[in-house]
């Protein structure tokens, strides 16, 4: 059986490589023709475009490797990634020269640095640690980053006085490096869970819950009466958001888009609810066991104060012995998996509609007379949510359809566990230095090294979570799943610090 | 019933020193500081905004539990102190063991240790001395300094590197404590405030954050302040020339910009804002006589100054309105920002003893412009500037920054510096009377990479063994016979 497979592989292997190569060549040719017309070959937009093409080729090959396990893809995939990285380096250098400062001043420039770091780390992880399949996860993320950059493109902004400091550049560089390492540790922890035979249904529950959270968040905050969707107005001439008064942004309503989002929310909710129905018996069982669990909590409290030993048989364990867990119902899982596929199509549609309708057209507002334009720049949060949702669903489908191959390709659980720890061994000192550099900069600028502003506080929380990971692993010997959960929790906090704090919580870090 | 204080103290100590307590405390800190970023905080929020966001009951509740100012609440400080205590206790609890390990390295591996150690390997040798020399050479070429351990009945080779790595975790914890210490010192003895200075003004009073003022033991004077802009008009640079005045003398001068403060007597002055203060520094005008073709002349003066126009006529700069409005024939000051400025001059003629009110621009209307002996044409108006300074005194800073440096070093040691140890023991098999070299190694982290290093060492020992000439003919014969 294995031999048959081995014989088949070169065939399919060549097809994909040739296809991707042709695609890259075609796109480069088209781009080149455009450039010849424009006359300027090596500007930032072209370099970025080239990076995008190569990253896309690399991602396609990595995905091909992830799905079929054909070894020969990896060589070409990393070649494409190398080319993309070179182009990306060119774009970074160009930006640097043009702006006169390292590219860390705006969301756009930070994405540029982030994408660069991510591609570099992917190559390191692949060459040094032999985690070849990592590109399957990181390269699509890099593509999303480059695409977001195309949408968020802004010209070079001069730096306000507070931002003109070497320490700022040190701070942001360290932050990007640390966050990229955190992203890598997250991907590795996920792979660990896959390799550790965590049930596909659990991934189903988690992924569909995350997408549901994204859509529910959008609908909850932006749905307007009669099916509109509220977005912030954009003044194309001033290149800024429209303000009603100081600090109050003007929202315009895109008609009907709200209905689409609501519909998407409903469909995205289907996989989770089918999953819950399939678990109905188990939920009832769990609810019944709650009294036993309360006594467990009581025991845990006693244990914290050192009053009782933990290894006594808990009430829950006793309860479980008498009432074994019921079997789950397979047919509902089947429904859930199909629903994920359908929801993916609808999500793509929602994204497409969102892109089309925000880029063109003028819309009315409830708060002001007249029609206003909007722009993707004003809704980076919604945009990353929509793209992220699609990405999460895609990853789940990849896992669902190709789990066996993935398990064959991934390193052993022990290896993954150790590499995760090593990645965090890189991320944690970087996080520490990042916070220190930020504090030093703040001290130079505002005369105080720590002012408990939300971004600072959340950076400290991130640090604390990774400190927990290190302690749990080193001194308590937590390996495997518990450690992987902590690594995942750490990255969730990183994402919140990076995106959530900027958009949800107010503070000094308004520049980023 | 007598309470056993010893037992209670021991129990408390154990609880405090346990990693469990540390983890629980850390989780609590995470939860409360997250709450502090989600609930609006009083020090950084306007009271109105607070009232808009929460209902009165909610505000009362949040204030009562301290959630509106988490980071200055006594219980949060208490929590941080508990964390510090937990770190101290945990370190003290574990330190003696580590110190013993550090100060008295384990040099001769006994039999039970040799049995369980991984990685280990045995290499056949002809004689003890030759084997040991080969091992020493191999270790030397790997950059180690092997030492011979000679005991009464046995001997061995011990080599190690980076023993300090065992203490790294204490360096990290000590540096954290140092940072906390600095922050507490700043919290108690430090202060922050703001200072607004007009150009040429001197002051020693700082407005503190909490609404009070503080008088410095020296005064600060702003000689000049300015702003540079980018082409598109956004500010590029703010600067102020400051002078420290003590007992009437300038003791220090510095031009500060954003990110480059002035430090004097433990007090730092940071550039934080800049603007016009609505006062005129210099008004330049051209005056020409109303009657006849007299000479035009340029005059320049500041507010309340008087300039002579000719032998019998003077002009006084009586009033300046940065942004005027006229209503019911009266001139009003609309704001202190430079908008549409108006100037009030008083022209006095000695010969006739009359004074004329002149207003510029003439449209202000209330004046007697036409009757005045001179007509004025404004040429230049230079406004005075103020510079906004942040002032802070942070006596604990040195502790914070040295803690940070130490923390970086400590973490580098914790994650990247490996304490590697090698033991080499010659063994004689009692049954076959053959000699072999037992090689063992241990590392406190990064064990897989160490495994590779261990294999390198074994390979090196084997090549060294081949190149070493046999020590005695008898041994040589024995080894040849052995083959």
- Model confidence pLDDT, tens digit, residues B373-424: 788 888 887 777 788 888 888 888 899 999 999 999 999 998 888 889 999 9
> What is the Cα–Cα distance from A140 to A57, expressed in whole angstroms?
10
- Asked if the interface predicted TM-score (ipTM) of this complex is over 0.90, the answer is no
Q: Are residue B257 and residue B193 in the same domain, yes or no?
A: yes
Q: Are residue B219 and residue B149 in the same domain, yes or no?
A: no
Q: Are residue A181 and residue A248 in the same domain, yes or no?
A: no
Q: Are residue A108 and residue A31 in the same domain, yes or no?
A: yes
Q: Are residue A183 and residue A124 in the same domain, yes or no?
A: yes
Q: Per-residue confidence at B175, pLDDT binned at 50, 70, 90?
A: very high
Average pLDDT, chain A: 78
* pLDDT given for residue B403 in this prediction: 95
Boundary of a domain, candidates B70, B95, B120: B95
> What is the Cα–Cα distance from B421 to B144, expressed in whole angstroms?
10
Cα B334–Cα B335–Cα B341 angle in degrees, nearest 5? 80
Q: Are residue A408 and residue A434 in the same domain, yes or no?
A: yes
- Which residues 6+ apart lie within 8 Å of A262 measured at CB? A219, A223, A227
* pLDDT given for residue A253 in this prediction: 85
Element (H, E) at A509: none
> What is the Cα–Cα distance from B86 to B78, expressed in whole angstroms?
12
Q: What's the token pair of residue A32?
A: 């080149």
Cβ atoms of residues A416 and A191 within 8 Å: yes
Instruction: Please report which residue ranges of A69-199 form alpha helices under DSSP H.
Output: 71-99, 107-129, 134-152, 166-195
b/e burial code for range B85-116 (CB count within 10 A of at least 16 → b):
ebbebbbeebeeeeeeebeeeebebeeeeeee
Q: Residue B443 belongs to what domain range?
A: 105-162+418-482
> What is the Cα–Cα distance from A90 to A45, expressed in whole angstroms?
10
Q: Among the listed ranges A407-416, B19-28, B162-171, which one has the minimum average pLDDT value?
A: A407-416
Domain assignment of residue B319, yes or no = yes
The mean pLDDT value for A355-384 works out to 78
The answer to whether residue B38 neighbours chain A at the CB level (below 8 Å) is yes
- Do residue A460 and residue B44 have CB atoms under 8 angstroms apart? no
> B377 by DSSP, 3-state: which?
strand
Cβ atoms of residues A493 and A462 within 8 Å: yes
Task: Round to the nearest angstrom and report the end-to-end CA distance of chain B.
Answer: 80
> B69 by DSSP, 3-state: which?
helix
Element (H, E) at B437: strand B435-443
Domain assignment of residue B400, yes or no = no
Q: What's the token pair of residue B375?
A: 């007509």
Element (H, E) at B194: strand B191-198
Q: Are residue A371 and residue A418 in the same domain, yes or no?
A: no
- Do residue B33 and residue A428 have CB atoms under 8 angstroms apart? no
Domain assignment of residue A418, yes or no = yes
Q: Among the listed ranges A161-175, A214-228, A442-456, B124-138, which one has the minimum average pLDDT value?
A: A161-175
**Given a cut of 70, is residue A56 above it in pLDDT?**
yes
**Given a cut of 70, is residue A37 above it in pLDDT?**
no
The answer to whether residue B113 neighbours chain A at the CB level (below 8 Å) is no
Domain assignment of residue A509, yes or no = no
Q: In what order do the strands lie in the sheet with B147-150?
A: B120-125, B435-443, B420-428, B155-161, B147-150
Q: What's the token pair of residue A205?
A: 């529950």
- Do residue B390 and residue A447 have CB atoms under 8 angstroms apart? yes
> What is the Cα–Cα distance from A4 to A9, expressed in whole angstroms?
9
How many domains does chain A divide into? 3
Q: Are residue B87 and residue B112 in the same domain, yes or no?
A: no
* pLDDT given for residue A230 in this prediction: 84
- Do residue A471 and residue B392 have CB atoms under 8 angstroms apart? no
Domain assignment of residue B251, yes or no = yes
Cβ atoms of residues A44 and A85 within 8 Å: no
The mean pLDDT value for A269-286 works out to 81
The values of phi and psi at residue B169, to 5°, are -65, -30
Number of CB pairs, chain A paired with chain B, less than 8 A apart:
111
Q: Are residue B336 and residue B244 in the same domain, yes or no?
A: no
Q: Residue A21 belongs to what domain range?
A: 2-197+403-504
- Which residues 6+ apart lie within 8 Å of A25 measured at CB? none
* pLDDT given for residue B469 in this prediction: 61
- Do residue A446 and residue B19 have CB atoms under 8 angstroms apart? no
b/e burial code for range A344-382 (CB count within 10 A of at least 16 → b):
bebbeebbebbeebbeeeebebeeeeeebbbbbbbbbbb
Domain assignment of residue B183, yes or no = no
Of A429, A448, A505, Cβ closest to residue B392? A448
Q: Per-residue confidence at A512, pLDDT binned at 50, 70, 90?
A: very low
Percent of chain A with pLDDT strictly greater than 90: 8
**Given a cut of 60, is residue A509 above it in pLDDT?**
no
**Given a cut of 80, is residue B366 above it in pLDDT?**
no
Domain assignment of residue B356, yes or no = yes
A212 vs B467 pLDDT, higher one: A212
Nearest CA in chain B to A414: B448
Boundary of a domain, candidates A402, A423, A438: A402
Q: Are residue A145 and residue A173 in the same domain, yes or no?
A: yes
Q: Are residue A250 and residue A296 in the same domain, yes or no?
A: no
Q: Per-residue confidence at A153, pLDDT binned at 50, 70, 90?
A: low
Boundary of a domain, candidates A402, A419, A453: A402
Q: Among the listed ranges A5-19, A181-195, A307-321, A458-472, which one has the minimum average pLDDT value?
A: A5-19
* pLDDT given for residue A502 in this prediction: 66
Domain assignment of residue B179, yes or no = no
Per the confidence metrics, is the pTM higher than 0.80? no
Percent of chain B with pLDDT strictly greater than 70: 93
Domain assignment of residue A512, yes or no = no
Taking only residues 431 to 470 of chain B, the set having a beta carbon closer than 8 angstroms to any beta carbon of chain A reads 448
State pLDDT tens for residues B177-197. Answer: 999 999 888 888 888 888 888
Q: Are residue B331 and residue B373 in the same domain, yes or no?
A: yes
Q: Are residue A407 and residue A472 in the same domain, yes or no?
A: yes
> A432 by DSSP, 3-state: which?
helix
> What is the Cα–Cα distance from B312 to A390, expressed in whole angstroms?
87
Q: Are residue A473 and residue A368 in the same domain, yes or no?
A: no
> What is the Cα–Cα distance from A502 to A459, expressed in whole angstroms?
12
- Do residue A446 and residue B390 have CB atoms under 8 angstroms apart? yes
Of A305, A447, A476, Cβ closest to residue B192? A447
Question: Which residues of chain B have a CB within 8 Å of the CB of A465?
Answer: 30
State pLDDT tens for residues B316-330. Answer: 888 888 777 777 767
Q: Report cis status (omega within 30 of 0) of the bond before B361.
A: yes
The mean pLDDT value for B26-35 works out to 90
Domain assignment of residue B29, yes or no = yes
- Do residue A464 and residue B29 have CB atoms under 8 angstroms apart? yes
How many domains does chain B divide into? 4
- Do residue A449 and residue B394 have CB atoms under 8 angstroms apart? yes
State pLDDT tens for residues B333-364. Answer: 777 666 778 888 888 888 777 888 888 777 66
> What is the Cα–Cα distance from A467 to A480, expressed in whole angstroms?
17
Cβ atoms of residues B120 and B425 within 8 Å: no
* pLDDT given for residue B476 in this prediction: 44
Cα A63–Cα A92–Cα A154 angle in degrees, nearest 5? 95
Candidates A447, A479, A493, partner chain B, best to mutate (most B CBs within 10 A): A447
> A471 to chain B nearest CA, in Å?
8
- Do residue B37 and residue A501 have CB atoms under 8 angstroms apart? yes
Q: Per-residue confidence at A458, pLDDT binned at 50, 70, 90?
A: very high
The mean pLDDT value for A54-73 works out to 78
Q: Are residue A441 and residue A470 in the same domain, yes or no?
A: yes
Q: Are residue A316 and residue A425 in the same domain, yes or no?
A: no
Task: Round to the nearest angstrom and report the end-to-end CA distance of chain A.
Answer: 54
Q: Per-residue confidence at A246, pLDDT binned at 50, 70, 90?
A: low
Nearest CA in chain A to B388: A446
- The domain spanning residue B134 has which CATH number? 3.30.160.110
Taking only residues 299 to 318 of chain B, the set having a beta carbon closer than 8 angstroms to any beta carbon of chain A reads none
Q: What's the token pair of residue B186?
A: 């700043």
Q: Are residue B153 and residue B245 in the same domain, yes or no?
A: no
Domain assignment of residue B89, yes or no = yes
- Do residue B18 and residue A306 have CB atoms under 8 angstroms apart? yes
The values of phi and psi at residue B273, to 5°, are -155, 175
**Given a cut of 60, is residue B480 above it in pLDDT?**
no
Q: Are residue A144 and residue A260 in the same domain, yes or no?
A: no
């Amino acid at each position: 059986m294995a031999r048959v497979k081995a014989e088949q592989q070169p065939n399919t292997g060549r097809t994909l490589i040739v296809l991707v190569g042709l695609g890259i060549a075609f796109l480069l040719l088209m781009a080149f023709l455009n450039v010849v017309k424009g006359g300027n070959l090596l500007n930032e937009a072209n370099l970025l475009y080239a990076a995008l093409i190569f990253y896309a080729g690399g991602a396609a090959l990595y995905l091909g490797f992830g799905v079929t396990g054909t070894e020969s893809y990896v060589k070409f995939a990393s070649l494409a990634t190398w080319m993309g990285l070179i182009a990306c380096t060119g774009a970074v250098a160009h930006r640097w020269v043009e702006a006169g400062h390292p590219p860390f001043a705006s969301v756009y420039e930070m994405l540029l640095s982030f994408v660069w770091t991510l591609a570099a780390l992917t190559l390191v992880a692949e060459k040094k640690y032999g985690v070849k399949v990592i590109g399957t996860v990181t390269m699509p993320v890099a593509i999303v980053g480059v695409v977001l950059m195309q949408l968020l493109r802004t010209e070079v902004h001069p730096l306000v006085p507070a931002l003109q400091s070497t320490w700022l550049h040190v701070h942001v560089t360290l932050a990007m490096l640390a966050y990229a390492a955190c992203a890598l540790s997250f991907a590795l922890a996920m792979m660990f869970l896959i390799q550790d035979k965590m049930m596909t249904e659990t991934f189903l529950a988690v992924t569909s819950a995350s997408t549901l959270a994204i859509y529910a968040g959008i609908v909850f905050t932006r749905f307007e009466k009669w099916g509109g969707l509220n977005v912030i107005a954009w003044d194309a001439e001033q290149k800024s958001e429209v303000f009603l008064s100081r600090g109050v942004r003007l929202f315009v309503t895109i008609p009907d888009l709200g209905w689409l989002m609501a519909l998407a929310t409903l469909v995205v909710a289907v996989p989770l609810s089918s999953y819950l129905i399939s678990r109905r018996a188990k939920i009832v069982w769990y609810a019944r066991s709650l009294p036993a669990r309360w006594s467990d909590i009581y025991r845990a409290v006693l244990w914290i104060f050192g009053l009782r030993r933990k290894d006594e048989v808990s009430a829950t364990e006793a309860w479980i012995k008498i009432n074994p867990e019921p079997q789950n119902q397979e047919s509902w899982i089947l429904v859930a998996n199909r629903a994920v596929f359908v929801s993916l199509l609808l999500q793509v549609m929602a994204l497409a509609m969102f892109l089309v309708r925000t880029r063109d057209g003028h819309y009315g507002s409830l708060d002001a007379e007249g029609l206003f334009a909007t722009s993707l720049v004003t809704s980076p949060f919604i945009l990353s949510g929509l793209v992220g949702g699609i990405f999460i669903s895609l990853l789940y489908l990849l896992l669902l359809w190709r789990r066996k191959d993935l398990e064959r390709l991934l390193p052993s659980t022990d290896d993954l566990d150790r590499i995760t720890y090593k990645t965090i061994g890189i991320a944690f000192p970087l996080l520490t230095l990042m916070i220190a550099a930020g504090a030093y900069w703040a001290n130079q600028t505002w005369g105080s090294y720590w002012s408990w502003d939300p971004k600072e506080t959340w950076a400290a929380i991130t640090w604390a979570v990774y400190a927990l990971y290190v302690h749990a692993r080193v001194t308590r010997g937590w390996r495997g799943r518990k450690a992987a959960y902590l690594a995942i929790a750490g990255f969730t906090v990183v994402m919140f610090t990076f995106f959530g704090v900027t958009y949800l919580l107010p503070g000094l870090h308004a520049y980023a | 019933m007598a309470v056993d204080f010893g037992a209670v103290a021991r129990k408390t100590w154990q609880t405090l020193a346990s990693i469990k307590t540390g983890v629980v405390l850390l989780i609590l800190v995470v939860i409360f500081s997250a709450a502090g970023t989600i609930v609006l905080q009083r020090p950084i929020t306007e009271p109105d905004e607070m009232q808009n966001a929460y209902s009165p009951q909610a505000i009362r509740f949040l204030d009562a539990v301290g959630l509106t100012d988490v980071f200055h609440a006594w219980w949060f400080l208490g929590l941080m102190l508990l964390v510090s205590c937990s770190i101290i206790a945990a370190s003290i609890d574990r330190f003696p063991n580590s110190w013993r390990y550090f100060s008295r390295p384990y040099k001769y591996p006994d039999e039970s240790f040799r049995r369980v150690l991984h990685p280990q390997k045995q290499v056949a040798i002809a004689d003890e001395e030759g084997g040991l020399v080969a091992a020493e050479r191999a270790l030397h070429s790997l950059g180690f300094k092997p030492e011979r351990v000679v005991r009464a009945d046995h001997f061995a080779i011990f080599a190690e590197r980076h023993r300090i790595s065992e203490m790294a975790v204490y360096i990290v914890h000590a540096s954290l404590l140092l940072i906390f210490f600095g922050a507490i010192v700043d919290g108690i003895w430090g202060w922050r405030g703001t200072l607004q200075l007009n150009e040429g003004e001197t002051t020693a009073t700082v407005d503190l954050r909490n609404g009070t003022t503080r008088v410095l033991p020296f005064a600060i004077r702003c000689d000049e302040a300015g702003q540079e802009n980018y082409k598109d008009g956004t500010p590029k640079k703010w600067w102020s020339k400051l002078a420290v005045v003590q007992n009437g003398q300038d003791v220090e001068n510095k031009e500060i910009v954003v990110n480059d403060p002035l430090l004097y007597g433990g007090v730092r002055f940071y550039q934080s804002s800049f603007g016009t203060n609505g006062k005129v520094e210099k008004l330049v005008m051209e005056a020409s006589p109303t009657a006849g073709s007299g000479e035009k002349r340029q005059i320049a003066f500041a507010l309340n100054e008087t300039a002579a126009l000719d032998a019998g006529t003077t002009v006084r700069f009586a009033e300046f309105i940065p942004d005027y409005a006229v209503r019911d024939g009266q001139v009003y000051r609309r704001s202190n920002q430079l908008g549409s400025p108006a100037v009030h001059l008083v022209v006095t003629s000695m010969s006739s003893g009359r004074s004329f009110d002149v207003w510029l621009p003439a449209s202000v209307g209330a004046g007697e412009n036409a009757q005045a002996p001179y007509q004025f044409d404004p040429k230049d108006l230079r406004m005075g500037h103020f510079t906004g300074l942040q002032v802070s005194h942070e006596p604990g800073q040195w502790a914070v920054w040295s803690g940070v440096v130490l923390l970086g070093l400590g973490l580098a040691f914790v994650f990247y510096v490996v304490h590697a140890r090698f033991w080499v023991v010659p063994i004689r098999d009692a049954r076959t009377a053959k000699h072999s070299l037992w090689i063992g190694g241990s590392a406190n982290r990064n064990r897989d990479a160490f495994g590779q290093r261990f294999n390198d060492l074994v390979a090196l020992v084997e090549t060294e063994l081949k190149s070493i000439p046999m020590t005695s003919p008898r041994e040589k014969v024995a080894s040849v016979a052995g083959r």
